[in-house]
Chain A
Amino acid sequence: MANSDTMAAPAALAAGPRGPKPKRRMTRGNIMVYGTLFIFALYYALPLYVMVVTSLKGMPEIRMGNIFAPPMEVTFEPWVKAWSQACTGINCDGLSRGFWNSVRILIPSLILSVAVASVNGYALSMWKFKGSEVFFGILMIGAFIPYQVMLYPIVILLREAGLYGSLTGLVLVHVAFGMPINTLLFRNYFASIPEELFKAARVDGAGFWAIFFKIMLPMSLPIFVVSLIIQVTGIWNDFLFGASFTGPDLYPMTVQLNNIVNSVQGVKEYNVNMAATLLTGLVPLTIYFVSGKLFVRGIAAGAVKG
């Protein structure tokens, strides 16, 4: 029997699988596994769904309807209103101001912090000097200090430098606080590069910067992407620093969003609020869905730091 089966194998392959379909096992254990996963998937997925659905409904429909129901009449008006008309205090120019502030904070912070962190990591792994490990240790411990502890001294520093309340000041703060995790990331990456490569370049007479720009940079693009992902989500999602170091005109998107939604005056427009919330979450969500595995890698690096 078995013999004839193997003989007939090429023919059977051509004709597709034969015989009774193997039964999908729906054991009790399986049902438990999939059931639990399904319930949790609902818990995680529903809020995003509710947010999208709410933002596409009109207010009358929200008042009488069910938050889980899909919109009967899709309207994009809440999105337009959230973007360009929603009010914070006396300003009624919408969330777009916060968005552009966040962009203006994000771009320089990203460039500066990734540049500084990569050079740090490079110096710490290949050009150690006396005390370099101590500074690195302090940096790592600093990552765990609650930000509130350092908030007021930073206010004073920024004020002395004439940067308090400016975007430049906030950018510098982001660079400083992004340093521990990103330096760690780059240090560990550069430490894994074979030493011979570095030695060969040294023998050829290359110095600190030449080795960095000509050899290390081209080799480490993936780690730059991971670092960028960490920084984009971190800086975009920041609330504390934005609220502490800038004024109403320069508030980043998160701060403005909170002010719009939690403002006590006026009738609550839940659809506009949800559109605004979704708009604010869109940047990190896009990064998350596009970057996939690299995002997880960034998290794994963050796990070491906290």
Chain B
Amino acid sequence: MALSEATDAGQAGPTKKPTRLFKNMASKIAALPMVFTALVIFVGGTVWTIVYSFTGSGLLPRLKWVGLDQYERLWNSRKWLVSIENLAIYGICSLILTLVIGFTLAALLDRKVRGEGALRTIFLYPFALSFIVTGLIWQWILNPDLGLQSVVRGMGWEAFTFDPLNNSSLVMFGLLIAGLWQGTGLIMCIMLAGLRGIDEDIWKAARVDGIGTVKTYIRVIIPMMRPVFVTSLVLIGSGIVKLYDLVVAQTSGGPGLSSQVPAMYVMTAMFGGQNLGQGFAASTMMLVSVVIILVPWAILEFGGKKRG
């Protein structure tokens, strides 16, 4: 694989310098779209947004420096603070429940149950659907007058109330029900692959030692699956920060501000409010939160040992 590099190195005398650029030319030309995407869109775009978050851009981007003004305004805005709080509630619950449900389902399926294939298909199909479709389905099921609440009431339990989408203190949990429905199948799939990778002998040894099933999972299996859990954590974490489509479809951020999320704040500021600077500052904060999630992972994953 490193063949071309090796020949390069062999001929790379100082006199041959001009030809080095043209070595492997076809490959370099073929990689141009990738280079463009990496440098112009990913690096360029990100740097541009960060730079312009320090300007007073309104309707159009302008290089009029205002220092940290945008960030000060951002953190003084009630809408932003509510967004952060909402996302924190959703995020913590989603992180814990996705891991717990994902692992439980995977562990149950790994107990050699009948109909494993069918069950796996059922658990995973929501993942193929978009957040818009997910949000709209659950908006309908959670409809207070015709949905789940009315069905339970119709069965005779008149006082039953379950109307999270119209209750500002419960709305994030209404979103959570839908989000978990869509996303847990993926984590189950990853966990199941992890469980299948564990040596059968571990189970035999645990049985010989007389350790119970649940205890074996908690004490032996889960610690062994640390890399799988870390991958899941990164996946769930970076997904939570992006939470947007689901909210748009299911609640449109309401009632009031009670299901606003940061991504929504960004979109309103950039495309709806002629308030570009705020949008740039808020999206930079989103980037910062992803960095906070990713850097410890990257250090854990790639810091110690070099991997190809």
Interface residues of A (CB under 8 A from B): 29, 33-34, 36-37, 40-41, 43-48, 50-51, 54, 62-63, 66-68, 116, 119-120, 122-130, 132, 135-136, 138-139, 141-142, 144-154, 156-157, 175-176, 179, 183, 191, 195, 198-199, 202, 207-209, 233, 236-240, 244, 254-255, 257-258, 261-262, 270, 273-274, 277, 280-281, 284-285, 287-289, 295-296, 299-300, 303-304, 306
Contact = CB atoms under 8 A, between A and B. Distances in A.
Interface string B1-32: 11111001000000000000001101110110
Contacts of A40: 101, 105, 123
Given A47-B138, A138-B39, A146-B242, A280 B234 contact: no
Given A135-B34, A277-B136, A195 B3 contact: yes
Interface in B227-255: 231, 234-235, 238-239, 241-242, 244-245, 248-249, 252
A280 B133 contact: yes
B222 interface: no
A254 B130 contact: yes
Given A128-B1, A146-B287, A148-B286, 20 more contacts: A36-B108, A37-B108, A44-B125, A50-B137, A66-B154, A67-B141, A67-B147, A67-B148, A128-B4, A132-B31, A142-B37, A145-B46, A148-B283, A150-B46, A207-B26, A208-B30, A240-B245, A270-B143, A288-B125, A306-B234
Contacts of B52: 152
Nearest to A210: B26
Contacts of B249: 258, 261-262
Q: Which of B101, B122, B234 gathers most chain A CB within 10 Å? A: B122
**What 6 pairs across the A-B complex have the smallest Cβ distances?**
A237-B130, A142-B42, A127-B27, A208-B26, A150-B45, A153-B45
A273 B140 contact: yes
B33 A51 contact: no
Contact of B126 (A47, A54, A142, A207): A47
A266 to B, nearest CB: 16
Contacts of B3: 195, 198-199, 202
Q: Which of B23, B35, B108, B130 gathers most chain A CB within 10 Å? A: B130
B162 to A, nearest CB: 13
A299 B130 contact: no
Given A41-B123, A144-B238, A149-B283, A254 B132 contact: yes
Contacts of A128: 1-2, 4-5, 27
Contacts of B74: none
Interface in B282-300: 282-284, 286-287, 290, 294
A273 B136 contact: yes
Nearest to A46: B141
Contacts of A191: 1
B151 to A, nearest CB: 5
Given A128-B5, A277-B137, A285 B129 contact: yes
Contact of B190 (A37, A50, A195, A300): A300
A136 B129 CA distance: 29
